[in-house]
Structure 1
Amino acid sequence: MEDYKKEFIKFLLNNNALRFGEFTLKSGRKSPYFINTGMFCDGKSVAKLCNFYAAHIVKVLGAEKVDVLFGPAYKGIPLCVATSISLATSFGINKPYAFDRKEAKGHGECSNRKKMIVGHELKNGEKVLILDDVFTTGQTKIDTAELLKDIADVKFAGVLIAVDRMERGNDNENAIKEFEEQTGIRVYSIISVKDIIYYLEKHKKTEEAEKIKKYLEKYGV
């Protein structure tokens, strides 16, 4: 496993953003682990979190393939702002950001939909990277892509999330794969649940690792 993945998992654990136990997900499933990036709620931790996002953009995606960072409300908002800052301060790369006003979502003409976007004014042909914490269902990301397409004829550099849980949706389909096939937009993640299992086994936390393995046997892709 790459060093940055080990560092990211350690960072999640140290900030209680990766927890073990029994957690009821929105889907109703009982999960032996839980990811909560909402634990990063101060300047130091958010800066470090988004430095991982920025590093992934530079080293894996390629910064030249991204024109704009977009953060869907609400959790995506601090991600896109702080990642933009991290790209500038840590890598010397200046990228604009934008996010939507969730409370104003609805149907309407393009001129009204433009008012839903805060920050950079999207332009035709720009390559947009959507930043979020996790990928639960593809529908929310599809809604975001459709909103942006209504505003300008943008292209998509992808979706970047913190952790890929690598599990099926409620319809037993791979939500990420289904989204990629439907939209042509690729989903990237800093780490996956398999990286977490590997890390736990290497650090002699076999009980937690085995519980996650059993969970994936039932719900994994």
Structure 2
Amino acid sequence: MNSMMNTPPIDSLAQDFVRFSVEAGVLRFGDFTTKAGRASPYFFNTGLFDDGAKLMKLGEFYARRLLASGLEFDMLFGPAYKGITLAAAVAIGLAREGKSVPYAYNRKEAKDHGEGGTLVGAPVRGRVLIIDDVITDGASKREAADMIRAAGATPVGVAITMDRQERASDDPANRRSGVQYVEQELGLKVLSIATLADLMQFLDTAGDPVLAANRARVAAYRERYGI
């Protein structure tokens, strides 16, 4: 009885997204090395949402999570480079749900001709939601927030695909994740389509012995690095 009471509720949107990511080959299991140098039993690569159908579906998942959250925003901002494509996909996904909003993005290097500057797209104004794939240590999100403020607008949140729910640093004095850093230090709400907990729940219920075989390794990774 107690075990049933302690079982977290199933987030159907997150479960659908994890299933879609596995089927699309974006979420893979095996032996990988993370940006932090950790040996990880899984790898989530948004660069593999690499055709129109996958991007359309991805944008719809983002849009459904954002609309369900109740977070108020006036436009989207995609940090170069992955955020550029993602912000466009999310803008389309939102429009399909009846909420059309402008979006902008930045260049890595300023242009000195044409419209010039580093910002491209709609004027950056009002409440701005940053769109990106993941949060590692939060540094790039600080840069994006600073650009938005410099343009006279207000960053209100960050939307990502997968929250890995792991410590950004191996320093025992700093056990925060990148998501916690962004929320606590930058004051931005973070919304993720799915989390590592959702992934583990998927492995528990997928009914596929090949997928289920990865569950123990993912659990061990979370036990070592999780928050």
Using the alignment, how far apart are the partners of 1:75 and 1:155 within structure 2?
21
Query: 1:9-158 maps to which residues of 2 (within 5 A)?
Result: 9-62=18-71, 65-88=72-95, 90-104=96-110, 115-123=117-125, 126-152=126-152, 154-158=153-157
Q: CA deviation at 1:179?
A: 2.3
Using the alignment, how far apart are the partners of 2:194 and 2:220 within structure 1?
19
Query: Once the two structures are superposed, what CA deviation does each residue of 1:68-120 show, in whole Å capped at 9, x if it has no partner?
Result: 111101111111112111211x2121100000001339xxxxxxxx8211001
Q: CA deviation at 1:188?
A: 1.2
Using the alignment, how far apart are the partners of 1:97 and 1:138 within structure 2?
21
Provide the residue aligned with 1:189 in structure 2: 192
Provide the residue aligned with 1:108 in structure 2: none
Using the alignment, how far apart are the partners of 2:199 and 2:88 within structure 1?
27
Q: CA deviation at 1:207?
A: 2.5
Provide the residue aligned with 1:214 in structure 2: 220
Look up the equivalent residue of 2:18 and give its one-letter code: I
Using the alignment, how far apart are the partners of 2:140 and 2:57 within structure 1?
26
TM-score by length of 1: 0.89
After TM superposition, the runs of 4+ consecutive aligned structure 1 residues lying more than 6 A away are none
CA RMSD of aligned residues (A): 1.5
Using the alignment, how far apart are the partners of 2:222 and 2:93 within structure 1?
34
SS at match of 1:137: coil
SS at match of 1:21: strand
The size of the alignment, in residue pairs, is 207
Q: CA deviation at 1:2?
A: 2.5
Relative to its length, the structure with more helix (as a share) is: 1
Using the alignment, how far apart are the partners of 1:131 and 1:14 within structure 2?
23
Provide the residue aligned with 1:159 in structure 2: 158
Query: Once the two structures are superposed, what CA deviation does each residue of 1:108-155 show, in whole Å capped at 9, x if it has no partner?
Result: xxxxxx8211001123xx110001111111111001111111121x22
- Percent identical: 40
8 A contact 2:66–2:191 mirrored in 1: no
8 A contact 2:148–2:155 mirrored in 1: no
